[in-house]
Chains A and B, each alone.
Chain A
């Protein structure tokens, strides 16, 4: 092959390559196209709900399976002054608020949360990034707490408001972490507000004093540093309206896959 021809071929393949990149990236920034891609989230949610028993359990493991290197993600230690004050006094005056569309709003101390009907489970935590860790969790069953607060019939989602500001640069007030789940997951037997991890007190990096476990969804749904549980009819008006900190930033609200 002559040098000229080789150079020509190299040039042509570089041109084709950049054309390829530009083409894909133009599609990736086209709002109509990306909007069409988003419909798949609903297909997946409907399909999974249709073929899965609403009480089907996530796999539970044995103590031998526990990860010794359980990874923490998102906020590792909230810098929010209100949280730091609570942490300094070991959550003595912490109250879990349960309100919104309920007949009987609740304000529970940690001791009261610990006294509520509990469940212990060893489960696999699947991060949206692709890794998995296995941990043992003990916590109050969310269904029992919601039964005590008595949901109003118009309640459709349960929202978890958290203590940590994960995005301090957000100017629209949507920098604070929050998440939401539907009533199917809220009343699932494995859905708990965990205060223990691997038989010890829940560490700060894993969401002390309370973190949500919603075992049939990805890690970002498992809100840490939960302060308030709110029953709502719609996710509009919360954050940027998509029902969670990461959903507000492009991630699926239904994180079953």
Chain B
């Protein structure tokens, strides 16, 4: 008997998930671009409460090498030539000294006060959007139902199996596709419950006003310059997530994924012999 393949449409994403997701796309893009603008005002990172200007753990600067300006990025004592990308970038002949290049900041030219205006406006939207998502996620059951791994998914054998099939870019089909797989769940959880709240808390800790309000929080991160460093690293983690997320969205069925995040409807293959 020929294998009969049927497509079944399921409702995958609720309206709240879809709206907060696309708002987050907009808000986080603005926060990343304006955040790099702010970083560029002092493209160096430190640990502890204060800056040790001669010894940042990360810096991007312009250095003259044999009378030739080069962009040099230093991480933990190791220096890399990053001309054109970090430290010294821009079109040939019109290069300028800046941490991140023009295409990675908003506005593209150097303007700290404008970058701050963007950052703090979108930070408020980020907070409101996040509150709506979490309130609905906890009260409406999205977090428990869709994000917390089910007991069977946490079996070591299952996790190992998921890692192996993921590495081969094979994704669950049939009934298993009705829910997020365990790697998906743990990744989404670490973003919505880990990285995103961490961005907010470390961001607030860079505020001298907020430090006076909640003095113990900045100690938790090891001081203001540590908070700035963790803010940067956490943002890097978000960028890494976005890149991997976009790749997986494409390879696991771009149109189906896109449709599900726009209309909520997601098609799964149900094989004929396993109705």
Contact = CB atoms under 8 A, between A and B. Distances in A.
Interface of A: 17, 20-21, 24-25, 28-29, 34, 36-41, 43-44, 48, 51-53, 56-59, 61, 65, 67, 69, 71, 124, 126-134, 215-218, 246, 249-252, 256-257
Given A52-B212, A130-B42, A249 B113 contact: yes
A51 B51 contact: no
A246 B54 CA distance: 27
A133 B42 CA distance: 14
22 contacts: A21-B102, A25-B107, A34-B117, A36-B121, A37-B117, A38-B117, A40-B117, A40-B121, A40-B124, A44-B124, A48-B209, A124-B224, A128-B41, A128-B116, A130-B39, A130-B206, A132-B225, A134-B49, A216-B212, A250-B117, A252-B113, A256-B207
B121 to A, nearest CB: 4
Q: Which 10 A-B pairs have the closest CB atoms?
A: A256-B209, A250-B113, A257-B207, A28-B107, A40-B121, A129-B41, A130-B42, A131-B51, A129-B42, A37-B117
A69 B52 CA distance: 7
A129 B228 CA distance: 11
Interface of B: 33, 38-39, 41-42, 44, 46, 49-54, 102-103, 106-109, 111-114, 116-118, 120-121, 123-124, 204, 206-213, 215, 218, 224-225, 228
Contacts of B106: 24-25, 28
A43 B124 contact: yes
Contacts of A29: 107
A246 B116 CA distance: 13
B117 A71 contact: no
Contacts of A126: 206, 208, 224
Contacts, number: 135
Contacts of B38: 130
Contacts of A124: 49-50, 208, 224
B42 A37 contact: no
Contact of B49 (A28, A65, A129): A65
Contacts of B109: 25
A62 B181 CA distance: 51
B107 A256 contact: no
A132 B49 contact: yes
A59 B215 contact: yes
A257 B210 contact: yes
A217 B116 CA distance: 15
Nearest to A246: B113
A76 to B, nearest CB: 16
A208 to B, nearest CB: 22
A230 to B, nearest CB: 24
Nearest to A130: B42
B124 A256 contact: no
Given A17-B103, A134-B49, A129 B112 contact: yes
Contact of B51 (A37, A57, A58, A132): A132
B229 to A, nearest CB: 11
Contact of B113 (A25, A65, A251): A251
Contacts of B210: 48, 52, 256-257
B167 to A, nearest CB: 24
Given A21-B102, A256-B208, A127 B49 contact: no
Contacts of B123: 40
A136 B29 CA distance: 40
Given A37-B118, A52-B209, A131-B44, 12 more contacts: A28-B118, A29-B107, A44-B124, A53-B213, A58-B212, A69-B52, A126-B224, A133-B50, A134-B50, A216-B208, A217-B208, A251-B112
A136 B221 CA distance: 23
B42 A24 contact: no
Contacts of B50: 65, 67, 124, 132-134
